[in-house]
Amino acid sequence: MPPKWEGNVHAKLEGPKADQVWPLLEDYFNFHKWFPTLNICYGIEGANGEPGCIRYCAGSSIPSNGSDGSNVNWSTEKLVAIDPVKMVLTYEIIDGNVGFESYVSTIRLLPRDEDNGCVIECSFAVNPVKGWKLENLIEKHHKGLERMARRIEESIMSGKLTNDST
């Protein structure tokens, strides 16, 4: 078996501090509110944010194998670990139609040395994906993370974030 593909991308937020952003990221069943290409995300097993809980996600993020991009892409994802103190969570895709096998991702929130802002870091490991190149998958992750960071940044900085948004 060929070695796993690995990638690591990050996005800087200018303004929101890590303690403002973390509650949005740890809300595991509502990731679609922040990740632009997810239309749906909800819990199907366990308590939100507890290790072992499972969410269903669907959207247009990555075309499934043999898809022209017009089909709904979906996955079920298990929260493997979460540490609110270190602001890090790890999940794995356990089923889906996007062609990923043995996909594990870690999302980490890092405070910046400056007074304002933070960094969202996303690393992943996955078996090689048929029809893809690793650099394309890394680019797709980076673009998605950048768009998510802008959405979070705009929501927090505009004051539009309310209790029902988290």
Model pTM greater than 0.85?
yes
* Phi-psi domain of 52 (left: phi exceeds 0; alpha: psi -120 through 50; beta: other): left
Q: How much is the pLDDT for 99?
A: 87
Cα 125-128-134 angle, rounded to 5 deg: 75
Residues of the chain with pLDDT under 50: 64-67, 162-166
Measured from the Cβ of residue 10, the count of other Cβ atoms closer than 10 Å reads: 15
pLDDT of residue 67: 46
Bridge partner residues of 76 (DSSP) = 56, 95
Q: In the prediction, which pLDDT does 166 show?
A: 43
- pLDDT for the residue numbered 64: 46
Every domain of the chain and the residues it spans: 5-158
Residue 60's pLDDT is 80
Mutual orientation of helices 134-158 and 18-25 as an angle, nearest 10°? 120
**What homologous superfamily is domain 5-158 in, according to CATH?**
START domain (3.30.530.20)
